[in-house]
Amino acid sequence: MKHFLCAAAVAAVGVTSGPVAAQTPTPSERLTHGPIELHRNADGSIKRGLRNEIQTGYWSGFAVTAAAPYTSASGTFQVPRVSYSGSGHSYEDSALWVGIGGDGDSTLIQLGTEQLVTSSGTASYYVWYELYPAATVYLGHTVNPGDIVTASLQCAAACSPGLVQTWQLTMTDETAGWSWTQSVQYQSSMASAEWITEAPWDSSGELPLDDFVQATFDPVSANGVNPNLTLAANGIQMADPYGETSSPSAPVGGDAIPRARPAPSPHPHRRRRFRFPPTPQK
């Protein structure tokens, strides 16, 4: 029910932006979507936001950790329409993904969408997966802003930390009507599950975050159940080198991460805080 209500509510929102590029198999350079980078205080403790969210360099969203291994994670989200923020970089980027591992360790298996916009305002949208630190694999499927996408990963064999596991990766675009699945081998810590909006990296370093109108995950699951997310226990706030911020709000019902909207900034194009108003409920 949450998925249906979210899809109906989100699809009704009108957005405008610059031109959209013809779909191409890959960006000009394969980007990296890496493990979490924590910001720390002078005493070594983790920096935290006003609502106890941990602060990071390029992750924003939610993560869960537990003693038991995570064997599956799933999230449904709307692909945001993006525009150039005026950072001065030749292009800006954002990625929405679901993953396992990477929160406190160097393993990360993930899949999602990427939204890239050039300084001329031309935007391109991609579907990808990554078995970190291997290169990002871009899929040949077309994805467009406004599409409702579900990304999921499920351990199918050798599902214990320390082993090379078999993972089933699945991506479905409900709007466009396509579905993709692939089996891969990867040795994951299985120690965390995440639902993230990220500023990816290229060979020169972290990219500026583009302006996205909204970013909604609804619903999400870990090990097949509601992860019961809260800001204090699971929230992640991004503060990047460009002075930009991206902040989550309280999830609805523990498994819905409501949509984001950019708020006015005292420093246009340099600092953007994203608010998450509640998802409409019936």
| Cα–Cα distance list, 211 to 48, 75, 91, 268, 269 (Å) | 24, 22, 12, 11, 8
Token pair, residue 156, equals 């199918």
Of residues 29 and 210, more confidently modeled: 210
- Distance of alpha carbon 231 from alpha carbon 212, whole angstroms: 22
What pLDDT sits at residue 26? Answer: 60
pLDDT at 257 over 90: no
pLDDT at 265 over 70: no
What pLDDT sits at residue 29? Answer: 79
pTM of the model: 0.83
List the beta strands (DSSP E) in the chain: 54-56, 59-65, 72-78, 82-83, 91-100, 108-118, 123-132, 137-138, 148-157, 165-173, 178-186, 192-198, 201-202, 205-206, 211-212, 217-222, 235-239, 245-246, 261-262, 274-275
What pLDDT sits at residue 109? Answer: 98
pLDDT at 266 over 70: no
Burial letters 64-100, b for 16+ CB under 10 A, else e: beeeebbbbbbbbbbbbbbbbbebebebbbbbbbbbb
User: Range with the lowest mean pLDDT among 88-92, 245-249, 264-268?
Assistant: 264-268
Mean pLDDT of the chain: 83
pLDDT at 157 over 90: yes
Q: Are strands 54-56 and 235-239 parallel, antiparallel or unpaired?
A: parallel
Domain boundaries, the chain: 2-275
pLDDT at 238 over 70: yes
pLDDT at 174 over 90: yes
| For range 114-141, the mean pLDDT | 95
Task: Give the sign of the dihedral formed by CA 183, CA 158, CA 107, CA 68.
Answer: positive
| For range 75-99, the mean pLDDT | 94
CATH fold label, 2-275: Jelly Rolls (2.60.120)
Q: Tell me which amino acid residue 266 is.
A: P
Bridge partners of 263, per DSSP, are none
Pick the closest to residue 27 from 112, 129, 136 (CA basis): 136
